Structure 1
Amino acid sequence: MTRVLQTFTKHKLNPPCSISFGPFNSSTQFRWKKKPTSTARTRLETRTRDLKLDQLSARFKKLNLILHLHKLMIDKKRGPFVSLQLMSRWNNIIGLNIGIGAFLRKYPHVFDVFTHPVKRNVCCRITEKMKGLLNEEEDVVRDLELENVKRVKKILLMSVNGRIHVHALRLVRRELGLPEDFRDSVLGKYSEDFRLVDLEVVELVDRDDESLRVAKIEEWREREYREKWLSEYETKYAFPIDFPTGFKIGAGFKEKLKNWQRMNYVKPYDVNEVVRVRTCGGIERFEKRAVAILHELLSLTVEKMIEVERIVHFRKDLGIEVNLRELILKHPGIFYISTKGSNQLVFLREAYSSGCLIETNPIHDVRRKMLELMLMGCRNTKELKIEKEKIKDRTANQVLYNDGERGGRDTDFVISILENCHGHNYDYGASDIEDSSE
């Protein structure tokens, strides 16, 4: 006991609170306790990065912030614009690490920041171009209603019992291209296909539709078999592999990959009951089935990407009882995780080339226009000044019209409002930021 205390004193270490003899005393725990390690975390830190997909992920994160901010502006229902004093309270809600004024100033083609002609406070509204794109997206989603029904039915066919929690679908609503009110416009409208078991569970009525039981990967396998003259043994259970630039291939890696490609497994639409490790033929085949389910789920999305945390909500319904993040990192030739931002995005590598989606769709085309409008930054602002002049004229006429309806204001006061409206500089400077912060 004395010798142990002398050791702590010699090396200037804090002795444990109480030392007792035995195999599990405090000194033993202090000396032999190892730092916990995670395989997924190690692979995430040492993975080969794809700079194009990382850049795309960062841009989509900014676009999602803009759309979240627009949703908050609409939910308040205070009119066509919102004051910056109110918007400054939303920093923690949308996850902004800079002031709301500085953020809005970076995207003048998306947000129109101006001084109210009557109240003289700084306000913000969505520009006409951005508003037009948002309306166009709603129209496209409405036109693709039958495609939305097909996507939901395919997800339900992959589930272990034909049921999916509505909350999980709600989390990936935008990724799947579903409308805001998909519970009524899709699930409720097509009652012959879907049945709500309770408030949060939707069930597929008919699971015998064989035309929907074909995975997206089967199209690629058919092309490989027909165009490259490969044997069915090589292509029947294979996946397209596309490693990022600079990926290091170790000794024996190619042989392991070839064996994994040839290994058979239970396909996503081939089972109507819970698939477990024993019935699937071992842990490797069970994991390969999980890869196939994740591959099909990403193929059903609009941009072939989804947040990892949102996929977790499908684990129980789809029968994926594995560590999803570790599974994704284990197959860098099929999936890629981007850690740009607070949320981790997983991409389907085969769907992208040089950071661009290969096979586009109408919803992606509209969102691409939103992205381009956001990336314009402060360029081409001359067109914005012309549009602002038109908006100022409309605002002035509206003020004059409202005053005529009320008939209670002095004419000189209305004229001063119009002069201030036309003479005020609408560029958002540092002085406006200081006023808004107060």
Structure 2
Amino acid sequence: MPSPLRVPARLLHARCKTTAAQHVAARHLDHTFERLAAAHLPLVAASPLVDALRASPEPLALPDLARRLPLRLHRRGPLHFLRLFPRVFHLRAPLPLSLSLTPAAADLLAVASSPADAARTLHRLLAMSGSRALPLRAVFRVWRELSLPDDFEESVIAGHPHLFRLAPNPAEPNTHILHLVADSAAEDFTPVVDKTRSDRYAFKLQFPPGFRLTKEYRKKVKEWQQLPYAGPYEAVSPRAGGSKRVSKLARRKMEKRAVGIAHEFLSLTVEKMVEVEKFSQFRKWFGIEVNVRDVFLDHPGIFYLSAKGKRHTVFLREAYDRGKLVEPNEVSEARAKLVELMLLRRRGLGNANSSANMASGAASDAKESGDDFVEHEDCLLDVPET
């Protein structure tokens, strides 16, 4: 379903040659979601560091951390980044400086779903796969988004042998595939979208402020809403021979099924948002045969795609009202409070944190853009082998 926004002809005629970032920049901005994405950037950038600190019972020396982790947190260096957020990171003198989480941050980070709730989330995730199996490393990429416990491999997977089993990946050495146990795969899950839609195949639409809905576009939306499709938990047979030649109607159904899968996936996440690159790890396993980034861009009434901080993050529109989750939970509220701690930076603290935090430049720090935070590579994290 194409967007009604006018895109320069040079982009339309050379779509295959333009970058995804250019496509994102060409669509209508929703400043509420842009602010939300910007507020999360420091926490996203610091996630490898946070994980290392949580795993250690004692403060960690900065030189040791620098050897273990890619501490490219800020364009002005990692120490500057740490000094920006004294309510989350506690720097300890004397030299060499050591680092720990503040008690407030540690308490908020410890909030997670119970093993039983996490098992149900993981069960639904696996049920969306046609083979009822997923690579374990893909699950590791989204464990925060799904609010899985830190030790979910033991507490959730090994703790529920009637639901899950791990097996070596024959296609890739030293990796594992997570399977649903045969009997558990028969559970009939109802997609979250079925709770809100009035028509059998329709999705709830919430277009951004100022979005121009032309008569032609409304007609296309109505036709698309009435289009039947296979739901996220329905088995779909692969196309014979993997042929790329399909009818226009078949491709539209494939696209709508991809929308349904993405909607359900986002509904399973704690904050109803995920980085597109992480979701793409599941594309083949979910049987999605269309470009997922285009799916998000082409359905602005269902999703919002932000490119803030040089990363693409997709939000489920209906889950938010004025930048707040419609149905918050204990985990999402804890994360919101953690984000608030980071947004406060050094305001109101003066020099009270420690001698290691002097010369922080609080006034200028408060005005810095979220784009100053450096992207991290999850492949560099010290995570359990999958």
Identity %: 33
**2:359 maps to 1:429:** yes
Q: Quote the residue 2:195 is aligned against.
A: 219
TM superposition shift of 1:355: 1.3
Distance 1:99 1:273, change over 3 A: same
TM-score normalised per structure 1: 0.70
TM superposition shift of 1:428: 1.6
Deviations 1:233-262 (A, max 9, x none): xx1000011111121223400001001101
45, 50, 53: which is aligned to 1:65? 45
143, 149, 152: which is aligned to 2:122? 152
Rounded Cα–Cα distance in structure 2 between residues aligned with 1:153 and 1:280: 33
Q: Quote the residue 1:195 is aligned against.
A: 165
Rounded Cα–Cα distance in structure 1 between residues aligned with 2:312 and 2:28: 15
**2:332 maps to 1:327:** no
Rounded Cα–Cα distance in structure 2 between residues aligned with 1:237 and 1:40: 29
66, 76, 79: which is aligned to 1:98? 76
Q: Quote the residue 1:394 is aligned against.
A: none
Distance 1:262 1:272, change over 3 A: closer
Deviations 1:325-377 (A, max 9, x none): 11111111111111011321011011111111111111111111111111222
Instruction: Identify unmatched segments of 5+ residues in structure 2.
Output: 1-13, 169-174, 362-386
Q: Quote the residue 2:102 is aligned against.
A: 127
**2:278 maps to 1:310:** yes
Rounded Cα–Cα distance in structure 2 between residues aligned with 1:354 and 1:272: 37
Partner SS for 2:283: helix
Equivalent runs, 1:37-436 vs 2, <5 Å? 37-38=17-18, 43-73=23-53, 79-83=58-62, 85=63, 92-116=70-94, 120-135=95-110, 137=111, 140-141=112-113, 144-198=114-168, 199-206=175-182, 212-221=188-197, 224=198, 235-271=199-235, 273-274=237-238, 282-381=250-349, 385=352, 425=355, 427-429=357-359
Distance 1:430 1:197, change over 3 A: closer
Count of aligned pairs between the two proteins: 338
* Conserved 8 A contact 1:329-1:337: yes
TM superposition shift of 1:308: 0.5
| Aligned alpha-carbon RMSD (Å) | 3.0
Rounded Cα–Cα distance in structure 2 between residues aligned with 1:100 and 1:181: 28
TM superposition shift of 1:210: 6.3
Partner SS for 1:337: strand
Equivalent runs, 1:13-28 vs 2, <5 Å? none
**Which structure has the highest helix share of the two?**
1
Rounded Cα–Cα distance in structure 2 between residues aligned with 1:194 and 1:167: 15
Instruction: Identify unmatched segments of 5+ residues in structure 1.
Output: 1-33, 225-234, 389-424, 432-438
Rounded Cα–Cα distance in structure 1 between residues aligned with 2:28 and 2:48: 31
Deviations 1:393-424 (A, max 9, x none): xxxxxxxxxxxxxxxxxxxxxxxxxxxxxxxx
Deviations 1:13-39 (A, max 9, x none): xxxxxxxxxxxxxxxxxxxxx896349
Rounded Cα–Cα distance in structure 2 between residues aligned with 1:51 and 1:243: 13
* Conserved 8 A contact 2:302-2:317: yes
TM superposition shift of 1:288: 0.5
* Conserved 8 A contact 1:106-1:377: yes
Distance 1:39 1:95, change over 3 A: closer
TM superposition shift of 1:271: 2.0
Structure ID, larger Rg: 1
96-105 or 45-54, which deviates more: 96-105
* Larger relative contact order, structure 1 or 2 (CA cutoff 8 Å, min sep 6): 2
Rounded Cα–Cα distance in structure 2 between residues aligned with 1:169 and 1:257: 34
TM-score normalised per structure 2: 0.79
Distance 1:262 1:72, change over 3 A: same
Partner SS for 1:319: coil
Rounded Cα–Cα distance in structure 1 between residues aligned with 2:248 and 2:122: 25
TM superposition shift of 1:152: 1.2
Rounded Cα–Cα distance in structure 2 between residues aligned with 1:253 and 1:358: 28
TM superposition shift of 1:429: 2.1
User: Which residue identity is paired with 1:220?
Assistant: T
* Conserved 8 A contact 1:91-1:99: no
Rounded Cα–Cα distance in structure 1 between residues aligned with 2:343 and 2:221: 40
Partner SS for 2:235: coil
User: Which residue identity is paired with 2:315?
Assistant: F
User: Which residue identity is paired with 1:263?
Assistant: L
Q: Quote the residue 1:410 is aligned against.
A: none
Distance 1:360 1:275, change over 3 A: farther
Partner SS for 2:314: strand
* Conserved 8 A contact 1:88-1:99: no
